[in-house]
Structure 1
Amino acid sequence: MSSLALLQLVSPALPVGGFSYSEGLEVLIQSETIRDEQQLQAWLEAELSRGAIRLEAAALPSLLGALAAWSAGETAACRRVLDLDGWLLASRESAELRAQQRQMGGSLLNLLAEMGHPLPEQVALSWPAAWAWAAQALQVAESEMVEGYLYGWVANQLSAAVRLLPLGPSRAQLLQHSLLPLIKGQAEQLQRRDPRQLWTSGVGAGMAQLTHAELYSRLFRS
């Protein structure tokens, strides 16, 4: 079941609203910082290697363990989940991105509840913690959970890029395929790392996210 459940979680049809966000990519393309497929690939590789997405991916195993303990009746584990979830949110510079994380997390939790997998208590979780709960509830393996999280982030970025650049769906799929080794390698490394001991050099991404709400005309949600 776990492999099929992972396919459902990374599907663009998952009703969490990820398609409506560009996470600053729209700013970078409007400013011509990213103008073509090669520059887009370089940007995605840099974010996978050094960006804030790494902190979230590295936190997933700890979130998964705490959520498993919580669902088994260890009420103190709820505090561990909320503490790490709050730390991840605080690591994001942009209020818009924090709002995105809360919205997508809430939508995923609502969907899981409708599927018969509600949280032990009704609390708000952002996207990474909600993703970990989905993995716990649907019995997705830890390694696949981390890979799927990074894969889904890349897929959403490419979905945005197709609407912003002269980049067709076929080229986007080829680019996604070329990034698979990097996604797998990063997932293997990050699931063994403490997120609080990692660094990020995603200053450009943070500035782009902060600037997005100020765009005169924009396609994506802030």
Structure 2
Amino acid sequence: MTTSRLRLFQLISPALPVGAFSYSEGLEVLVQRGLLLDGAGVRAWLEAELQRGTLVLEAASLPGLLVAEAAELRERDSWLLALREAAEVRAQQRQMGASLLGLLADLGFNPPALNLAWPAAFALAGRALEVGATELVEAYLYGWVANQLSAALRLVPLGPTEAQRLQLGLAPLIAKRALELAAADPDQLWSGGVGAGLAQLRHVELYSRLFRS
């Protein structure tokens, strides 16, 4: 196993100090409205997002971001951020991106002095750690699923064993989508994550909440 592969595991570790644990990306709204009640519902939601959510466009953009110069990084970063309808999710993306770039600087990798949101910052981390494009896309998808399942553990009647079963069961789809998206042109793709966008917009309306998005 190469050093870069081991470093990649660090990017998707729950110990990575970027605050991912504090966001549900609309999952909290869906649970409170009774739309996600069990493991089967959570799996269907995750599969739908992996197939046609905004996540798809972010993941497909990573190979280009991995080699992009500053101007292209800023342009693609702005485009991806504009795809997120909810202000809370845009704030999430900015906060996580800034935290990751700050961490890279503290670790001595000297990232560009740019204000970038999460996908572009993730790509710069992949560049610093010398991770290949397909592996980076795979890690991005895997990490997103893991964070969603972490939120589901606190929101849905979902035990840790069931969460692990779901993560294991989604592995073939994650691997398949990573191969497809690493070779795709993000400008030729589309997002059908209307339900996710609406849930994220409605999160700010919740009377009580555990998460920031």
Q: Shorter-normalised TM-score: what interval?
A: over 0.9
Per the TM alignment, residue 221 of structure 1 is displaced from its structure 2 partner at its CA by 1.1
Q: What are the Cα deviations for residues 71-97 of structure 1, in whole angstroms up to 9, with x where unaligned?
A: xxxxxx210110001000011111111
**TM-score of the superposition, structure 1-length normalised?**
0.94
Per the TM alignment, residue 200 of structure 1 is displaced from its structure 2 partner at its CA by 1.0
Distance 1:88 1:197 in 2: 14
Q: Find the residue that maps to 1:179 and give its secondary structure.
A: helix
Query: Which letter maps to 1:204?
Result: G
1:58 alignment partner, one of 60, 63, 66: 60
Matched residues, percent identical? Answer: 63
User: 1:100-139 counterparts in 2 under 5 A?
Assistant: 100-120=92-112, 122-139=113-130
Per the TM alignment, residue 215 of structure 1 is displaced from its structure 2 partner at its CA by 0.1
Say yes or no: does 1:170 pair with 2:172. no
1:199 — aligned with what? 190
2:27 — aligned with what? 25
**TM-score of the superposition, structure 2-length normalised?**
0.98
Query: Which letter maps to 1:63?
Result: L
1:221 — aligned with what? 212
Say yes or no: does 1:82 pair with 2:74. yes
Distance 1:126 1:212 in 2: 20
Which sections of structure 1, spanning at least 5 residues, go unmatched?
A: 67-76
Number of aligned pairs?
211
Which sections of structure 2, spanning at least 5 residues, go unmatched?
A: none
What is the CA RMSD across the aligned residues, in angstroms?
0.7
Distance 2:66 2:105 in 1: 17
Distance 2:191 2:95 in 1: 24
Per the TM alignment, residue 50 of structure 1 is displaced from its structure 2 partner at its CA by 0.8
Runs of 4 or more, structure 1, over 3 Å off, are: none
Query: Which letter maps to 1:162?
Result: L
1:43 alignment partner, one of 33, 42, 45: 45
